[in-house]
Structure 1
Amino acid sequence: MEMEVASMNDLKSIKYLYTTVTNSLRKNGVYQWDIFYPNIIVIGRDLKKGHLHALINDGICVAAVVMNEEQSSKYSGLPWSDKKGRPAVIHRLAVHPGSQGKGIGKQILLYAEEMAISKGYTSIRLDAYTANTKAITMYERANYSTVGQIQYPFRKYPYLCFEKMLNANEPNDIGM
């Protein structure tokens, strides 16, 4: 299995992945996603733009991540280190609950970092729901620095914003 740019043919499988992950998170008291987000419209837009990358095994989406340059307006007041470069932004990284704990999240992060470097990005930014301690730990172990926090509507807890500077001359070590 390898990460690849997903297509509209994968829409149903990817939507199922996000629904399954959302249900698992909620069962564990993590309310970062719901029936309204991520939705079929958001996923479809990501697919049409070629921003959604997936790990597909026998037609089943095991994991997915979106990477583009779209930043929340809430990011504007944060003290980012990369002030003059070209940051990539990671959105909606998800691993099927049945495949978690196998290093797939780490693989996806490394894939995103390598892709960002190859496209000339100078850093990666992302946010993670503070109640999702597994995600927070993964980003911290991958040497992402906490920049600050933001609050999204209808969410009880804030999101931590992370940044990782990229250097095309050095191999990425995501420290796990």
Structure 2
Amino acid sequence: MEIMPLTTKDVKSLLALYRRVTADLKRNGVKQWDFLYPNWFVVRGDLKRGTAYGLRDGKHMIGAVVVDDRQSASYGELPWTLDGARCIHRLAVDPAWQGKGLGKKLLQFAEEQARASGGGCIRLDVYSGNPGAAQLYERAGYKQVGAIRFPMRSEPYFAYEKAL
């Protein structure tokens, strides 16, 4: 399975993946995503900018990640130590495919994309109520630099960075 750039033709399959992941998170008591996010506008923007990448099993989208240089305004409050940041957003693996190393594969791909675009480091945020996601990043060498809050979210998000 090869990770490929996604296009605006992939909007429905990417949204369907995010809905499956959202439902699974909810079943597991993780209130990270909901009907408000990720939404059509966010996904369409990622696709139009050419920053979304996906992994398919045939026509079925089973994983995705976004790599760009768009940072939340909340990131400005944090004590970052590295320069030349690229960011990872919305890394997701279909629940039926979890536990097969695809999250790690998507993360490594995102790091390669960031490096290829001249990035000196990766920044990202992880919902504090999703310890599995935080473990993925920590095992990959990401260091927590602080926490931020987003509107309409009850728990903080941990901010991480890693030198490339």
Alignment of 1:37 onto 2:37: yes
Shift of 1:155: 1.2
Alignment of 1:113 onto 2:114: no
Residue 94 of structure 1, aligned match among 92, 95, 98: 92
Q: Deviations over 1:58-96 (max 9, x none)?
A: 1111000111111011000111111xx310011111000
Partner of 2:137, secondary structure, is helix
**Equivalent-residue separation in structure 2 for 1:41 and 1:59 (angstroms):** 23
Runs of 4+ displaced beyond 6 Å: none
**Equivalent-residue separation in structure 2 for 1:36 and 1:160 (angstroms):** 20
**Equivalent-residue separation in structure 1 for 2:149 and 2:139 (angstroms):** 23
Partner of 2:35, secondary structure, is coil
Paired position in structure 1 for 2:160: 162
Quote the sequence identity (%). Answer: 46
Q: For 2:137, give the aligned amino acid.
A: Y
Shift of 1:104: 0.4
Q: How does 1:1-176 map to 2 (within 5 A)?
A: 1-82=1-82, 85-166=83-164
Shift of 1:10: 1.4
**Equivalent-residue separation in structure 2 for 1:9 and 1:109 (angstroms):** 23
Partner of 1:112, secondary structure, is helix
Q: For 1:79, give the aligned amino acid.
A: P
Shift of 1:111: 0.5
Partner of 2:56, secondary structure, is strand
How many residues matched?
A: 164
Shift of 1:17: 0.2
Normalising by structure 2, we get a TM-score of 0.98
**Equivalent-residue separation in structure 2 for 1:107 and 1:58 (angstroms):** 18
Alpha carbon RMSD of aligned pairs, Å? 0.7
- Gaps in structure 2 of 5+ consecutive residues: none
Q: For 1:11, give the aligned amino acid.
A: V
**Equivalent-residue separation in structure 1 for 2:73 and 2:11 (angstroms):** 27
**Equivalent-residue separation in structure 2 for 1:140 and 1:108 (angstroms):** 15
**Equivalent-residue separation in structure 1 for 2:92 and 2:22 (angstroms):** 9
**Equivalent-residue separation in structure 2 for 1:68 and 1:34 (angstroms):** 23
- Gaps in structure 1 of 5+ consecutive residues: 167-176
Q: Deviations over 1:118-173 (max 9, x none)?
A: 1110000000001101100000000000000001111111100000011xxxxxxx
